[in-house]
Amino acid sequence: MPVNPVSWFELNVADMERAKAFYSAVFQVTLEDMSQDGMAYWCFPMDDGVVGAGGALMQMQGAEPGKGGTTVYFACADCALEESRVAAAGGTVCRPKMAIGEFGFISMVIDTEGNPIGLHSLK
């Protein structure tokens, strides 16, 4: 197994337009439409030259969003900034920014589809 075993992530969504609006607002990014064969698929911006996994929002019949399970953490310069955009974008902050020792800080939020996601920063 590689040192960084996560190479890609997908967040299942029930309402793609609502989910795109949430993630675009919170992270201030433009998602790229890679939809095909009846599956809505919108990718986050990605740079192969830096550490970290790329990912996408995925809407496909039979793959419904869940409550719990694996948590994806999004890298942030200061997770308090992205956290401050969550409620206005239709999400909920579950755990405000908290220190995790030498590993920095995290916030836990719920997106508009009911998926828990983490925000991580070093400051």
- The answer to whether 13 touches 57, Cβ cutoff 8 Å, is yes
**pLDDT at 63 (0 to 100):** 67
Q: Say what the pTM is.
A: 0.82
pLDDT of residue 40: 92
Yes or no: domain 8-121 corresponds to CATH 3.10.180.10: yes
Helix (H), strand (E), coil (C) string for the chain: CCCCCCCEEEEECCCHHHHHHHHHHHHCCCCEECCECCEEEEECCCCCCCCCCEEEEEEECCECCCCCCCCEEEECCCHHHHHHHHHHHCCEEEEEEEECHHHCEEEEEECCCCCEEEEEECC
- How many CA atoms, within 13 angstroms, populate the side-chain half-sphere of residue 89? 25
Q: How far apart (Å, rounded) are the C-alpha atoms in residues 13 and 17?
A: 9
Whole-number pLDDT of residue 62: 66
* pLDDT computed for residue 36 by the predictor: 86
Q: Which pLDDT score, from 0 to 100, does residue 25 have? A: 97
* pLDDT (tens digit per residue) in 4-33: 667 788 888 999 999 999 999 999 999 999
Q: Give every residue of the chain whose pLDDT is below 70, as ranges.
A: 1-5, 62-64, 66-69
User: What is the reported pLDDT for 1?
Assistant: 45
Domains of the chain by residue range: 8-121
Distance CA 108, CA 94 (A): 5
